[in-house]
Amino acid sequence: MTDGTFKRNHLGCVRHSPVYYGSWIGLALPFVGMNTVKFHYQMEKFSEARRALMLPAESDRAHRIGAAFTAMMRGLRELKTDEIVEPQVLDDLAQLKRLMDATGIEDPHGLGTHFLRAQRLTESEQDQLADVVDDLADYFCRKGGSGA
């Protein structure tokens, strides 16, 4: 699409400028400014996490949250927090890390400590996780896709 209207790209991010989106991510990058590359990986991974959390209720909740944890861990791995100046985003990242913290969880059957952590989240923590992931996905979409 190249028409400049407000549309969502394949990651669920609202686009505010005319940019071509190919099916392969390498096609889109030459058409946007170099600043967009800064948080592009986080944009992908947090959009993936948001999609995992939005799967139908029939699917196993712990597996959905575990898939979201995996995507977010990948997105956080390369994140340079010194490039983030917004205090709310830093607070959201700290809250996310607390919600994902699997310290002290024993995994004798090799299921994965983050999967076990996902099973132990209370309903309130699940709501907090969904809100934080949504806010961070929106932030990375704005920063990773707009050049802002």
Half-sphere exposure of 44 (CA within 13 A, CB side): 11
Distances (CA, A) of 25 to 31, 44, 48: 11, 10, 14
For residue 80, what pLDDT is reported? 87
Q: Residue 103 corresponds to which tokens in the numbers above?
A: 């310290």
Distance between first and last Cα of the chain: 21
| pLDDT of 75 over the 70 cut | yes
Closest to 20 measured CA to CA, from 11, 12, 29: 29
What is the mean predicted confidence (pLDDT) over 7-25? 48
| pLDDT of 17 over the 80 cut | no
| pLDDT of 31 over the 70 cut | no
What pLDDT digit, counting tens, does each position of 34-65 carry?
A: 444 678 899 999 999 999 998 877 668 888 99
Distances (CA, A) of 11 to 48, 86, 91: 8, 23, 24
Say how many C-beta atoms besides its own lie within 10 A of residue 109's C-beta.
7
**Which run of H or of E encompasses 15?**
strand 14-15
